[in-house]
Copies of this chain bind each other. A is one copy, B any other.
Amino acid sequence: MPKRFGVGPPWWHGRFRECGYRLTTPRESILDVLSKTSKHLSAEDIYLEVHNIYPTIGLTTIYRTLGLLVQMGFVSKFDFGDGRARYELSMGPKSVGHHHHLVCTSCGRVIDYTDFIEEEKELLSKTEKELSKRYNFKISNHLIQFYGLCERCKNKK
């Protein structure tokens, strides 16, 4: 059953308090930016967005908050090979849901795909279970990316 979004406090308020963290303007606005996009934002992208509304919030806080959100599991951090990390909401009502990435090694373009996810999911959960057992690892996350040339770059060569 879906919750009533848009009324009452946002879904994440509880989680913050549970963990002993405070609810602050920077934290809320960063989550807000992330929850309103499906793009893969860098720390600076987020900084610029947030800065439009709250010009006093600094880049340091963006980094610190992102670290916190990653650690709490709200946000996933990705490396697409261009030297800067990208961040995406990994849970919550507006989340795009389970997806993986297709990364162009020439222009850096990133495509989200959700095709064949069901089958992947099945294999993944099976693999996670088996790996956990065999290596005594508590698996909490996974990363799957395909690399290659996108349509445009492929045709250039």
Contacts and interface: CB of A to CB of B under 8 A. Distances in A.
Interface residues of A, number: 38
A91 interface: no
A69 to B, nearest CB: 14
Contacts of A143: 143-147
Interface in A105-157: 105, 111, 113, 115-116, 119-120, 123, 126-128, 130-132, 134-151, 154
Identical copies in the complex: 2
B145 A142 contact: yes
A58 to B, nearest CB: 21
Contact of A148 (B134, B140, B145, B150): B140
Interface of A: 77, 79, 81, 102, 104-105, 111, 113, 115-116, 119-120, 123, 126-128, 130-132, 134-151, 154
